[in-house]
Each structure stands twice: as structure tokens, then as C-alpha cells.
């Protein structure tokens, strides 16, 4: 009757830690509603892949019978082979985004750029702490505040820490309402946070909305070719939305496609949360560096806005710079909430939304540039 | 500890930030150009 307790006897302490991690992720998803669409499947998947001799990953049964596991198959096909899942998800994300606030105030592109500073700061910190270049770059890209970009870069660079990077990227995106206000208050005064901004948007024609995704794809593709898959699919989704003749496809992309891939992506990522890959001292360091990346993204955006204020007659509320990270639409809402707290009735949401959607594009550019630049040194 | 990797990371930082700002600047100019080409016609 030993076969009945064989599984139990092979549970390791590292696997028990992963059961705890899985339960924490499920708790954060259900009780705190932190990115539940991703954290719940990731949490449950973390338990599935860490059960001894788990059938969801490839096994050799009784030393001779090879069995294929579904989660390993999903990972090999959906992520390892061509990063299909995160890239296809970008179609849905592109279809959900309204670039109107950015098109009416295109100067917001610069805030999106400034708010990617944390990525490169984190790469330097990771290198200083002894990570090799490909891992440092993959850890730094957590600061892109974008799950698909983080997954894509860490996969292409063959990072050893895909699991920890994925958990960090998605967890910190959900913690933006906590991380960003703290970082903003570090580098601004109450008077600066209370600056009012008027909103006089330029008109955005339908032709502009249709031309924009095509133009962005070409420009970004020429500057950062490695990002063509991400930016191309993001902009394809946006073109589906804006063309006005494919409403059914646009709706499918925003709902069914996005939900289906999100459902499978969380479970698939859990393959990289096997105890032997995840329970290492480096995982805690990665979580710490990822948090630093988010903080310095925010600080980079805010300081850039303060720098521009030296030259602008009509002052910019520096918190708009913080909205330049890619966590859309959470970051713009956090900035608006802070603005109302500091100065009731102060509406900077549309400015923040413009910066926020530009951050979506800038993070993809950053991912492509990181792949391009790091590959030269590998 | 300052290692070769850290110095390379610094190089990646400045080149990466320059690259992103250049891309953003080009996109900004492209949007302004689009507004003039496909924006609403001027009223007579």
C-alpha cells in the first residue's frame, strides 16, 4: 500500500513553501482583488506544479513510461516557442486602449519615456548585485509594468528567473495604488501636487485615429525591431477598434480573446514556479529589485515633469509624470485620486491618461531596446 | 561591487533612455504631422 503515500513522502520543504506562495497569491486575488485574473490562476498553478510527480508536467512514470504534462506543454508551445500567449494578449489590450487623450496632447509621449527610467536603474542595481547581464536585463524589465513585455524579454534573453519575474511583474502592477503614492510623495511638495492644469485638447479626427497605429508600428519597428511583435499586435488591436468596420472583431478581442488568454496565461506561467526554480535566495532579491524599478519609474516621470516646469509658463502637475508607467488605467486613476486629495476639484485625469497610454507604447519600446542592446554583449 | 557587467548596464541605461526619448520625440512629431495632413480642414 506504499504507493498510496508515495506522493506525500516525496513532498519537499521547498514545495511546501510554494504551496504557501500559491495560497498567498489566491488570497491576494480573492480577498484583496489584486489582479485576480492572473494571480488566481498563477496561485493555483503553483500548487499544481509542485505536487510530487505532478501529472501537469512531464514525468517518467515508474522509470520508463514518459507522460506529457498539460501545463508544461502550454508553456513550451505558448511561451517558449514564440511567446504566442503574451503577444496575442496584446491584441486584446490594444483593442481596449483609447489613444485619444495622447493624440490630443502628444507631448505626453515624453512622460511615457521618462517613466521607463526605473527599468534601466533596476538593470544597474541587478548587475551591481551580481546577476549576469541577461538576468539583470530581465529583472529590470519588471519596471516596464507590463506582464507580456516582461515575459517576452525574459524568455528571449533565456533568463533563469522567468517565474519570479512574472510573479513580480504582475504583483507589482496590482500594487500600483500603494507603491506610486509613496514614491510621488518622496519627490514632490504639497504645493507641487496641488498644481491645477487646464485641459484644452486638440481635435482628434477619425483619420488620425486610424493612421496612428500604423505610423507607430512603422516608427517603433524601425527604432527597436525586437519590439515589432509586441507593438505590432498592440497596434493591430487598436486598429481593429478604431477602423469602425470590425466592431465584432474588436469586441471579441477585448472580451473573449483577452479573457481566454489571460485564463491560460496564469496557469502557463506557473510552470516556471516549480520549487527548484523558484525557491532560491535570488527570488527575494528579484522581488526587491522589481519594487525599486517601479519606485524609480515613478520618480523618473515626476522629476522629468519638474524639469519641464523650469521652462513652462503653464506649470505641469508633476504627478502626471508618474502616470507615464505602463500600468493602464490604474496609474492615471491613482494620480487623479492623489490630485483630488491635495486640491479638491483638481481634475488632471485626462492629462494622466495621455501619459499612461504613452507609457504603454514606451514600455514596449524599452523592451525592444533592452533586447537589442543586451544581445550585443552576450 | 563594480564589475564589467555594471559598467555595461550603465551603458545600456544611457543608450536605452536616449533611444526611448528619441522614439517618443519622433512619435510626437509624427502625430503633429498627422494632425496637419489628416486633421480637420481649416474653416474658410
For A193-209, the pLDDT digits (tens) are 999 988 888 888 999 99
From B44's Cα to the closest Cα of chain A, the distance in A is 17
d(CA A44, CA A266): 9
Name the maximum alpha-carbon separation found in chain A. Answer: 81
Q: Please answer yes or no on whether A358 and B22 come within 8 Å at the CB atom.
A: no
Does B33 score more than 60 pLDDT? yes
Instruction: Give the global pTM.
Output: 0.88
Neighbouring residues of A302: CB distance < 8 A, sequence distance ≥ 6: A183, A184, A187, A188, A318, A319, A321, A322
User: Quick one: pLDDT at residue A286?
Assistant: 94
User: Quick one: pLDDT at residue B41?
Assistant: 56
Scanning every residue of chain A, which has its alpha carbon at the shortest distance from the alpha carbon of B27?
A216
Tell whether A95 lies on the interface with B, counting CB pairs under 8 A: no
Could you tell me which residues are beta bridge partners of residue A61?
A65
d(CA A351, CA A356): 9
Half-sphere exposure of A258 (CA within 13 A, CB side): 19
Q: How confident is the model at residue B2 (pLDDT cuts 50, 70, 90)?
A: low
pLDDT-flagged residues of chain A (< 70)? none
User: Quick one: pLDDT at residue B40?
Assistant: 62
Q: How confident is the model at residue B39 (pLDDT cuts 50, 70, 90)?
A: low
Q: Which of B2, B19, B27 sits opposite A109 (nearest CB)?
A: B27
Neighbouring residues of A148: CB distance < 8 A, sequence distance ≥ 6: A83, A86, A87, A89, A90, A93, A230
Q: Which of B15, B28, B39 sits opposite A208 (nearest CB)?
A: B39
Q: Please answer yes or no on whether B20 and A136 come within 8 Å at the CB atom.
A: no
User: Quick one: pLDDT at residue A67?
Assistant: 84
Q: When comparing pLDDT for A358 and B40, which is higher? A: A358
User: Quick one: pLDDT at residue A377?
Assistant: 84
Q: Please answer yes or no on whether B23 and A216 come within 8 Å at the CB atom.
A: no
Q: Which of A119, A126, A223 sits opposite B22 (nearest CB)?
A: A223
Q: What residues of B are in contact with residue A205 (Cβ under 8 Å)?
A: 38-40
User: Quick one: pLDDT at residue B43?
Assistant: 43
Q: What residues of A are in contact with residue B34 (Cβ under 8 Å)?
A: 208, 211-212, 215
Residues 1-44 of B with CB under 8 A from A: 1-3, 5-6, 8-13, 15-17, 19-28, 30-32, 34-35, 38-40
Q: Please answer yes or no on whether B5 and A132 come within 8 Å at the CB atom.
A: yes
Q: How confident is the model at residue B44 (pLDDT cuts 50, 70, 90)?
A: very low
User: Quick one: pLDDT at residue A20?
Assistant: 95
Amino acid at each position: 500500500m506504499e504507493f498510496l503515500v508515495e506522493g506525500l513522502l516525496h513532498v519537499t520543504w521547498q514545495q511546501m513553501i510554494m504551496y504557501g506562495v500559491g495560497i498567498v497569491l489566491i488570497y491576494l486575488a480573492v480577498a484583496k482583488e489584486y489582479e485576480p485574473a492572473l494571480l488566481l490562476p498563477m496561485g493555483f498553478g503553483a500548487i499544481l506544479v509542485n505536487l510530487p510527480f505532478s501529472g501537469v508536467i512531464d514525468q517518467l512514470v515508474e522509470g520508463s513510461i514518459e507522460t506529457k504534462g498539460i501545463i508544461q506543454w502550454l508553456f513550451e508551445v505558448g511561451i517558449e516557442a514564440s511567446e504566442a500567449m503574451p503577444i496575442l494578449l496584446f491584441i486584446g489590450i490594444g483593442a481596449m486602449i483609447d489613444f485619444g487623450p495622447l493624440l490630443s496632447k502628444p507631448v505626453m509621449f515624453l512622460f511615457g519615456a521618462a517613466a521607463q527610467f526605473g527599468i534601466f536603474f533596476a538593470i544597474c542595481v541587478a548587475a551591481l548585485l551580481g546577476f549576469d547581464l541577461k538576468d539583470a536585463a530581465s529583472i529590470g524589465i519588471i519596471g516596464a509594468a507590463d506582464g507580456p513585455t516582461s515575459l517576452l524579454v525574459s524568455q528571449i534573453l533565456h533568463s533563469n528567473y522567468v517565474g519570479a519575474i512574472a510573479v513580480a511583474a504582475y504583483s507589482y502592477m496590482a500594487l500600483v495604488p500603494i507603491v506610486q503614492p509613496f514614491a510621488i510623495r518622496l519627490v514632490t511638495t504639497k504645493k507641487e501636487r496641488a498644481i491645477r492644469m487646464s485641459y484644452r485638447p486638440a481635435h482628434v479626427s477619425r483619420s488620425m485615429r486610424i493612421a496612428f497605429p500604423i505610423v507607430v508600428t512603422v516608427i517603433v519597428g524601425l527604432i527597436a525591431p525586437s519590439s515589432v511583435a509586441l507593438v505590432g499586435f498592440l497596434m493591430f488591436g487598436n486598429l481593429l477598434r478604431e477602423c469602425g468596420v470590425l466592431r465584432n472583431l474588436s469586441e471579441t478581442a477585448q472580451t473573449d480573446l483577452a479573457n481566454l488568454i489571460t485564463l491560460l496565461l496564469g496557469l502557463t506561467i506557473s510552470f516556471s514556479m516549480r520549487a527548484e526554480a523558484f525557491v532560491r535566495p535570488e527570488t527575494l532579491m528579484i522581488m526587491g529589485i522589481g519594487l525599486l524599478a517601479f519606485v524609480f519609474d515613478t520618480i523618473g516621470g515626476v522629476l522629468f515633469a519638474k524639469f519641464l516646469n523650469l521652462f513652462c509658463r503653464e506649470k505641469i502637475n508633476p504627478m502626471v509624470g508618474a502616470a507615464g508607467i505602463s500600468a493602464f488605467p490604474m496609474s492615471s486613476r491613482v494620480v487623479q485620486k492623489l490630485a483630488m486629495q491635495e486640491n479638491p476639484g483638481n481634475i488632471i485625469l485626462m492629462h494622466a491618461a495621455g501619459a499612461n497610454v504613452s507609457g504603454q507604447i514606451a514600455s514596449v519600446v524599452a523592451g525592444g531596446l533592452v533586447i537589442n542592446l543586451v544581445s550585443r554583449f552576450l | 561591487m563594480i564589475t564589467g557587467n555594471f559598467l555595461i548596464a550603465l551603458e545600456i541605461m544611457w543608450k536605452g533612455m536616449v533611444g526611448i526619448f528619441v522614439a517618443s520625440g519622433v512619435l510626437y512629431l509624427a502625430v503633429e504631422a498627422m494632425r496637419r495632413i489628416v486633421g480637420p480642414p481649416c474653416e474658410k
